[in-house]
Structure 1
Amino acid sequence: MDMYIRVKRKMTTYFIRCKPSDKILDVKQKLEELVDQPANNQQLILHGTGEVLEDAKTLADQKVENDAVVALALRKDDNEFEEVNIVRPSEFYPAREGDAANW
């Protein structure tokens, strides 16, 4: 059964089609062309729990469900991964009167 996950980094969201049996490394390889970074320079973190997803495990093993939000961090020059920074719509769209945050 196919599923998708939302991979977020800063102000960008990638919708990745996958299967629960796909390994995290498979997901990173799908992201390689999109982010122009090899899989070993990517770190995926399950949003909400903050758990770093392990390459050798499957999405099902790590309880990543359909429509899950996963944060993407890239390796910096100092070999460390960048801080997770996901921008919410309210941070880059000015609030309009009457909207009452109906996103």
Structure 2
Amino acid sequence: MYVRVKRQKTTVFLQVNPTDTVATLKSAIGDLIQQEPSTQQLYRGSTALTDTQTLAELGVHDDDELGLALKKEDGTWEALEIMRHEAPSDGVAE
């Protein structure tokens, strides 16, 4: 199955298994975005996920969306911010 991991204007698509843990997912994300797993916090909705939980335990399904926040230099987490893409305008004024 696939999950979408979103942070600000970036979306990462990952192939995962229901038995994968959040820690496994963070490791795969880290390989793609050059961020250590310890500097990542994943969310499902507004709930922070625990590294030891499996995707099946969390009820994550194919094509689900998870949020990603990164740790700032001062040790706090950035605000969870996911930009939604809007359909392009056709340029016609109403």
- Considering the TM-score relative to the shorter chain, is it more than 0.5? yes
SS across alignment from 1:69: strand
Amino acid at match of 1:95: S
Residue aligned with 1:61, SS: helix
Aligned match of 2:73: 77
Letter in 2 for 1:31: I
Q: Equivalent residue for 1:14?
A: 12
Aligned to 1:5: 3
Match of 2:66, SS state, is strand
User: 1:30 matched to which residue of 2?
Assistant: 28
Partners of 2:88 and 2:16 lie apart in 1 by 34
Partner of 1:60: 56
Q: What runs of 5+ residues in structure 1 fail to find an aligned partner? A: 99-103
What amino acid maps onto 2:32 in structure 1?
L
Identity of aligned residues (%): 36
Q: Which gives a bigger RCO, structure 1 or 2 (Cα 8 Å, sep 6+)? A: 2
Q: Which amino acid aligns with 2:67?
A: A
Question: 1:101 matched to which residue of 2?
Answer: none
3-state SS, counterpart of residue 79 of structure 2:
coil
Q: What stretches of structure 2 of length at least 5 have no aligned partner?
A: none
**C-alpha RMSD over aligned residues:** 1.5
